Amino acid sequence: MDGGVGLSVGAVARRLGVAPSTLRTWGRRYGIGPSRHSAGGHRRYDTTDVARLQLMNQLILDGTPPEEAARKALAAAPEDLPAQPPPQQPEPRPAWGSGGQRLAVTESTPATRALARAAMGMDAVTMQRLIDEALRRDGVVQAWQELFAPVLIGIGERHAETGAIVEIEHLLSGTLLSALAREVATAGPPITARPVVLACAAEEQHSLPVYALAASLAAERIAVRVLGARMPYEALAAAIRHLGPAAVFVWSQTPDTGDPAPLAGLPGGRPRVRLLAGGPGWADDRLPERVHRVGTLPEAIAEVHAAYGHA
């Protein structure tokens, strides 16, 4: 790694087991990040950068608040940093695409390659077919985790590096959103009386994970009310008072929408409503105590089950 080109944000994220967006947030918020850029201006992490991030991640996993973990990791002497594996050649990343545009997907499988290729070619018919087949074959949770999310994350990384492919991002997210919304609309009649309310934080436009969770719950015949993108907190409070939900899920994708203070002002409900926060945007160190933080789609589903008192 040293003396070479350094690791990309995606490669470091894989090594640490965190999202690339988390690494970017840490860089912006706590000043811990790559110390160099490639010739093309992309962020590159050297051995010491990775070791500091690894220490920070370990401290967070041990319960240290992120800000303090970053401070300690930045102040640590080189000999106190975790040892790194010997230098490697940059990891080869498979790429697919057409017309000179190529997309690398972190978790490469024949299915992600096929969807990435169709997305990069703006081939809406094939995209729709692959999305529908995955939903039928694997169900929402597996299709989201193993196919849709990796391709979306690959598109996000490509966009972050080049500023391009916004048109691809819009077409793919639009196609996915309609497929997931259809899953919600066509699920059988719900078996729960109290619904789950799902919404994006105020001004948050990234609504796909909200639909992924809604479709997963609807498939289990759990009643859902999807309030979608950019939900003002007063309106969310009104919905909670109106519906008396068993759980409320709020998604923040970016730090701009991740101020958790308004969550504390949401009605507690009677019987009590379980409040779930998902997405990399939330300032974790300031989440109100009553909020249950969920890091993955299966975790969010498990928290909803807990809200209904299921084991």
d(CA 122, CA 167): 9
CB of residue 80 to ligand B12, shortest distance in Å = 27
Task: Note the helical H segments in 144-197.
Answer: 149-162, 166-186
72 versus 220: smaller Cβ distance to ligand B12: 220
d(CA 147, CA 130): 10
Tokens of 103: 């997309």
Give, to the nearest 10 degrees, the angle between helix 20-30 and helix 66-75: 80
245 versus 278: smaller Cβ distance to ligand B12: 278
d(CA 213, CA 66): 27
d(CA 255, CA 116): 27
126 versus 254: smaller Cβ distance to ligand B12: 254
CB of residue 75 to ligand B12, shortest distance in Å = 25
CB of residue 142 to ligand B12, shortest distance in Å = 12
Residues contributing to the site for ligand B12 (CB under 6 A): 19, 21, 24-25, 149, 152-153, 155-156, 159-160, 169-170, 173, 177, 203-209, 212-213, 253-255, 278-280, 294-297, 300
81 versus 228: smaller Cβ distance to ligand B12: 228
CB of residue 270 to ligand B12, shortest distance in Å = 26
Handedness of CA 233, 234, 236, 240 (dihedral sign): positive
250 in Cβ contact with 276 (< 8 Å): yes
State which residue has the least CB distance to ligand B12. Answer: 156
CB of residue 290 to ligand B12, shortest distance in Å = 17
133 versus 169: smaller Cβ distance to ligand B12: 169
